[in-house]
Structure formats: structure tokens, C-alpha cells
Structure 1
Amino acid sequence: MKTGAISIILGICSILYFIAMFIFGGKIISFSEFWIILGVLLIILGTDRCSGKKTICNKFSKNVKKILKISIAIILMFFISVEGLLIYSGTIYDKAKSDYLVVLGAGLKGERMSQALYARMIKSLEYIKENPDTMIVVSGGQGPGEYISEAEAMERFLVRNDIDKEKIIKEDKSRSTYENLKFTKEKLQKLNGNKKVSITIITNNFHVYRAKMLAKRQGFKAYGMPASLHPLITPNYYVREFLAIIKSYFFDR
């Protein structure tokens, strides 16, 4: 099969993936627009190749083409390496007992938890059952389209599942993973002073590596407890996380 035809097929698949996520979520899922943009670009590139037209790329000199190919290969290897690290981190369940359990927010629709957040809460119940004396921090502010803070929704869920409200610490100002850990640190410093504490972070599998990285920057001894994500939206969030890792590495300090 010619390269152009493969490009068109991949472009169509990318657009269909966007549509499937839209139907699944009932709305545009974060970062899903990437797939429709990628799909359109692949179809345009494939159509040009199949029609025999000279694309911009074909007008470049041989040296420029070589540099482009090398650059693309380097970026691709970097992407694969980072994704491998994210996938591996999302399979490790740290069993060590920690001072606090920290559950990170993941979006609401009104007052209803997203599929990602619901999975985190189910995982938190599993952890609490095994470690009933652990204090719990629920971390997440209120974003667009959310009637209450994510922390409030998580607290309500835990209380409905017979968790003592006195064991829950609510951090309801954060709007990013960086702020989740930063504001959680501020909350725990009021209880422990400057004593270094250990935390077990519950988040979705794609997010574990970055959450632990940012927690360690805040001075925590951090463990991870990954919650699964629906297979349909998993690729979308792993690709999104690649860009988020780069942003956090340089700026979230």
C-alpha cells in the first residue's frame, strides 16, 4: 500500500477516534481536539501524495529533507521513551503504608464525577479498607461547568461510603496537578510543621509518574496507587500526558 493511502487511512481513523470519544463522554473530552486536527493533516498529506502533486516537503533540498527526517526520528524516539516510562509507572502499586492518602481531582460535570475521577474514588476505597487509620486528603478546586469543587464531590462520595468525615482533609482551591500538591503541602504543614511526611497518591495510571514527580518536588516521600481508565480514552490521555510532562518538568517548580 502506498504511503499516501496509509496516511489517509490513519487520518480517517484519527477522526473516528475523536468522534468515538465525543459519543462516549457526551462532550468534547480534554485534548481530544488533537485527534481531529491530526486526522485532517494526515488526510491532506495523503491526498497530495496520491495525486502526485509536489508537496512543500518535496520542494526542500536533500539536506533539508535529511535534517527533517533525523529530527522526526529523534522526536519519535523521545516520545516512545517517555510513553514507556508513563506506562511502566502506571503499573506499579506501591504497597508501603504512608502518613496520608492523597486523592487528586479529575473533573466534574455539574456535580457528577467524571469516569476518571470515579475510578480514583473506587481505588481510594480499596486503599482505605486496607489502611483504615490513614488520614485522607481530597484535592481539587472548582472548574468551568462544575457546580461544586472536586474536593467537595470526593468528600461526599467518601462519606456516602461510610468514611468518617473527621478523617478527611479537603483542599478545594487547586486547578492543576502542581497546585494539587503545592496546596496539599500547605494544608499538611499546618498539621505537621516542617516534618517530612509520606503520602500515597491515587490518580489514574497515565498520571502517576508526573504526580509523584511533583510531589517529590514539594518535599513529600511519595508513593503511587494507579486507578484504571476506560480503554477508549486511555490513548488520548497518554498522548496528552506526554506534553504535560514536558511542561511540568520545566515550569512546575
Structure 2
Amino acid sequence: MVVYAPAALLFLVFCVSVLRERRKFSNAVVLGLAVLCALAGLLYRLVDSGSASAPFVLWALLVLGAMAVLVLTCFLFLNGVRMLRKEGRSPTNLLSLLAALAVLAVIALLATAAALRTPLLIGAATAAGGLALYFSFLFLCFVCYAFLYGRLRVRRKADFVVVLGSGLINGSTVPPLLASRLERGREVHARLSRRGGSPVLITSGGQGPDEDLPESHAMADHLIAQGFPADLVRREDRSRNTEENLRYSKAIMEEAKPDYRCVVVTNNYHAFRAALTARRVRIRGQVVGSPTAAYFWPNATLREFTAILVDYRRSNVVMCALILLGGVAAWWAAGRG
């Protein structure tokens, strides 16, 4: 059982970290490392046992891994095409398609390097494979922990419910994506009210250059038209992005009640990154997500992951530099051989 000790230790660190602060990306990485160590321990036990079935199991795992990569690539490609048809051509809508092409490019490079075995191709394949493994690991950590975070229990009491804006259509109309957030905000508000509280709902969003009014005003009007009490709505109408949504809403909450607690509402694909931002600006509260159309979720998740990579760019630049140095070392070693 000693081979499972690193996994057990990492899982213990993960549990303690989540209890202290659930809004940390390091939680996702530690959980991923714990799972990797557990799998490595399991494979070691399997090989060390000398069982006749061990080679079969290992080959089965390799085949399953290859099939998973193939299925994922096809899924990303089809989703990318669907995004272009439904949402139009824009850099953010191309993420699924670009991810599929990147996977194919890495596979092609690895196959070419294995066939030709030239030093330059070996170095390039080593670097590309290392980068692919690194970002794939981080992405799996992100997806799994974001799923887990979205299912953690919300505090029983809160003084405010903050609904983040996401843009209007035709200058003044609340789109389905934003309507989903508002409906989730109403549900959270109703649940908190049933527990004996009387929270204020803050609609957060400023006015864009192509909008006839601030998002927060359209959001508030949408809620009030559906019967939500107007006296329980506050409007934050200066923000232009998620960080400003949270900073300006924080100012409203602190002015009304310095020791406030809140629940922030956004879409499920955006909830974990919004939680990381909330921690950075020192918001006292948890973020919850509302449903998103199935076709929109993969591309939106890739966009959120990309934004998190940018937020932690220093660490990622260092890791990428080390992986590229590994590729240079492999090129040098192959050339000397």
C-alpha cells in the first residue's frame, strides 16, 4: 500500500485546501496530481504482480486512450463547425475547431518523427508532445474541479444575490443566455428567502457601445416584468467585464452591509473562473452556475480555460519554457547519437 501513499497525501492536502478556500485553481491541480499518483500506483501494482493479464490490461488501456483521443478530436471538430453555423465567425467561436486541428497536428508530428527519426523532428515532437500533455492535464483538472465546484453546497444565508451580465441583443433585449442567469438568480433568491432571509438582488452590467441602455437595467426590467419585487433589486451599471462586475457590486454590498455574504450567479461554464476572480477581488461569497445550451458549452469551456491560462501566465510560461528546453535536449541527444 506504500505505492498509494503519495496519492493519499495529495488527496488529504486537497481536502484541507478546499475546506479552507474552495476558490483556488491549485485545488484542481492537486486533485489531478492525486488521481495521477493513484493511477501510477495501480499500474505499478499490476506490473509488479507478474500476472499474465497485465500486458493485456496495459494494451487495453493504450487502445482506450487512443480511441478517446480520436473521439474527442471528432467531437471538437463537429462542435466547432456547429458553433460557426449557429454563432457566426469570430475568434472565440473557433476554439473548438482550433483545438481539434491542434490535436491532429501533434499526432501527425509524433507519427512523422517516429517514422523518419531525424534529430530535428525528434526534438520538435518531444516539445509538442510535452506541451500537449501539460495543457491536457491542466484542462482535465479544470473541467473536473469546475464540475465539482458547481456542486458544492451554497451557504444557508446570504445578504445579496449578484447576477452577472453577459450582453444584450438588439441593444435592449435580454438574450436566452442572460435569461438563464436571471432565472437561476431568482431560484437562489427564493431559496435564501425561505430560510428566513431577505436578500437584495443586484443586477450587474454596464452599457456597451452597441446597447441602448445598461445591461443591469434591462436585467432588472426583465425580472420585475416576471413579478420579482422591484424594491429588492439594485442596479450596478458601470462594469464592462467580470472583474468590474464583482468590484463594483462589492462596493454596493460593503456600503449597505460591511459584513455581507453573497451568492454570485453566472452560467455554469463561467462559474469557476468567476469564483477565482471573486477570490482575487476579495468577494465574500460563492459562485453558482445556470444551465447553458449543450452545443455552446464545449467552446465556452475552452474559452474559460484559455482565460485561466492567461491569468496564471507566469507559471505557464515557466513550465512551457522547461518543456521546450526538454525538446532542445532531445534534439541534441538525437544528433549526438
Report the TM-score range of the alignment, normalised by the length of the smaller protein.
Answer: 0.7 to 0.9
Deviates more, 1:98-107 or 1:70-79: 70-79
Match of 1:123 in 2: 184
Instruction: Tell me how far 1:12 sits from its aligned partner.
Output: 6.9
Report the Cα distance in structure 2 between the residues aligned to 1:234 and 1:56, rounded to whole angstroms.
39
The Cα offsets for residues 125-144 of structure 1, whole Å up to 9 and x where unpaired, read as 21222234210111112235
Distance (Å, rounded) in 2 between the aligned partners of 1:210 and 1:53 = 37
The answer as to whether partners of 1:7 and 1:43 remain within 8 angstroms in 2 is no
* Structure 1 position 139 matched with structure 2 position 226: no
Q: Hey, which of these two has a bigger chunk of strand by percent?
A: 1
Which residue of the partner structure matches residue 86 of structure 2? 24
| Distance apart, 1:233 and its partner CA | 0.7
Unaligned runs of 5+ in 1: none
Query: Aligned partners of 1:22, 1:182: CA distance in 2, in Å?
Result: 33
Instruction: Verify the 8 A CA contact 2:162 2:265 in the aligned structure 1.
Output: yes
Query: Structure 1 runs of 4+ off > 6 angstroms?
Result: 6-12, 42-50, 52-59
% same residue: 21
Counterparts in 2 of 1:179 and 1:29: CA distance versus 1, 3 Å: same
**Matching of residue 214 in structure 1 with residue 277 in structure 2:** yes
SS in 2 for 1:60: helix
Q: 1:246 to 1:109 in 2, by over 3 A?
A: same
CA distance in 2, matches of 1:158, 1:79: 36
Kindly indicate whether residue 118 of structure 2 is the aligned counterpart of residue 62 of structure 1: no
In the alignment, does 2:221 pair up with 1:160? no
CA, structure 1 residues 177+7, in 2 after alignment: closer, same or farther (shift >3 Å)?
A: same
TM-score under structure 2 length normalisation = 0.61
* C-alpha displacement of 1:63: 4.2
Instruction: Please say if 1:101 is aligned against 2:142.
Output: no
Aligned to 1:76: 136
Inter-partner Cα distance in structure 1 for 2:116 and 2:166: 41
Aligned residues: 243
Q: Relative to structure 1, is the Cα distance of residues 250 and 101 closer, same or farther in structure 2, using a 3 angstrom cutoff?
A: farther
**Contact (CA 8 Å) 2:189, 2:199: kept in 1 or not?**
yes
1:170 aligns with 2:235: yes
Structure 2 distance, partners of 1:151, 1:246, is 29
Q: Following TM superposition, by how much is the alpha carbon of 1:60 offset from its aligned partner in structure 2, in angstroms?
A: 1.9
* TM-score (norm. length: structure 1): 0.79
Amino acid at match of 2:152: I
Paired residue type of 1:203: T
> 1:225 corresponds to which letter in structure 2?
V
Query: More deviation in 210-219 or 79-88?
Result: 210-219
Q: Deviations over 1:76-134 (max 9, x none)?
A: 21221122222222233414211111111122212222332111111112122223421
Distance of 2:248 and 2:190 partners within structure 1: 26
Bigger helix fraction:
2
Q: Is the Cα contact below 8 Å between 1:18 and 1:33 reproduced in 2?
A: yes
Closer/same/farther in 2, CA of residues 61 and 217 from structure 1, 3 Å limit: closer
